[in-house]
Amino acid sequence: MTDLARFSINQMTVKQLTLPDLAAACRDLGVINVGLWREPVQEYGVAAAAKLVRDAGLTVTTLCRGGFLTATDPEARAAALADNRRAVDEAAALGTDTLVLVSGGLPPGERSLAAARERIADALAELAPYAGEHGVRLAIEPLHPMYAADRCVVSTLTQALDLAERFPAHQVGVTVDTYHVWWDDRAPAEIARAGAGGRIHTFQLADWTTPLPEGVLNGRGQLGDGSIDLREWQGHVEAAGYTGPIEVELFNEALWSRDGREVLAETAHRFVTHTAL
């Protein structure tokens, strides 16, 4: 096993690279796993993207992302469900077994996070069997509480597992991303709970750097640049039985402004430096 055997580069980290350039860069650097995003995959063509990564010998560790399931409006809800079924289809076509879900924020005028989470549960009741039939696991990703209003009403692993455990583990589990959970002193116990149930469907790394940028979306730190003890979190998921790929997903304007191959090489190097292999 090489040092990069478990490393997966999430496409968003190097979004300046086209899919073919990403595949070529992975080959040159010995990277064998990628996490893909729906929008660039759709732009390239799902079937063409599937062939490209297959021909390059790449394993697709996750597809990001489904979700946005908090609508109160019936038409918006139906559209979201249809879009999530397409996301499942795309994941299956790409050969990945994991679709990451970002649950969605509060609809305009709504103030109840609890009610929004119940709407997600209702939506999952329709989507989970569909995903299971297609060999795709839904991985609910709790996002940092700073996104609770406008992006994701699921803010903790506790909440994510409370939702996931209403369904079989081969249908619904969770995404553990250090950026979103590092502040939470209950997260280690919840990782153990997730592992015991076979529900850690993906593990992602990003570091926490400050000051946060306006909108707080694109300030995820390169591994080692921030406040998170990444090895400690890797230890938590591994103690919980997780031995799968480790994705590095960085939304970072500074990284996006640089040469994509250089960023990929740096990220692979940081991965080796800041994880325990």
Where on the chain is the footprint of a copy of itself (CB under 8 A)?
A: 106, 110-114, 144-146, 148-150, 155-156, 159, 182-185, 208, 210-216, 226-229, 232
To a copy of itself, the closest distance from the beta carbon of 188 in angstroms equals 10
Mention every residue, 6+ apart, whose C-beta is less than 8 A from residue 74.
none
- Report in angstroms how near the CB of residue 133 gets to a copy of itself at its nearest: 32
Closest among 98, 84, 162 to 126, alpha carbons compared:
84
**Which is nearer to a copy of itself, 210 or 257 (by Cβ)?**
210
Residue 14 or 208 with smaller CB distance to a copy of itself: 208
Q: Which is nearer to a copy of itself, 98 or 175 (CB)?
A: 175
Query: Considering the complex, what minimum distance in angstroms separates the CB of residue 274 from a copy of itself?
Result: 11
CB of 212 to a copy of itself, least distance (A): 5
The CA distance from 237 to 95, in Å, is 24
Q: Tell the smallest beta-carbon distance from residue 135 to a copy of itself (Å).
A: 33
Q: Which is nearer to a copy of itself, 107 or 129 (CB)?
A: 107
CA dist 107 → 54, 68, 99, 141, 155 (Å): 39, 10, 23, 19, 16
Cα–Cα distances (Å) from 26 to 4, 161, 202, 222, 276, in that order, read 11, 33, 20, 18, 21
Q: Supply φ then ψ for residue 245, to 5 degrees.
A: -65, 155
Q: From CA 68, how far away is CA 81, in angstroms rounded?
A: 9
Minimum CB separation of residue 190 from a copy of itself in Å reads: 13
Closer to a copy of itself by Cβ: residue 142 or 260: 142
- By beta-carbon proximity to a copy of itself, the closer residue of 35 and 221 is 221
Q: Helix H segments across the chain?
A: 19-29, 38-44, 46-55, 74-94, 113-133, 157-164, 178-181, 187-196, 230-239, 253-256, 260-274
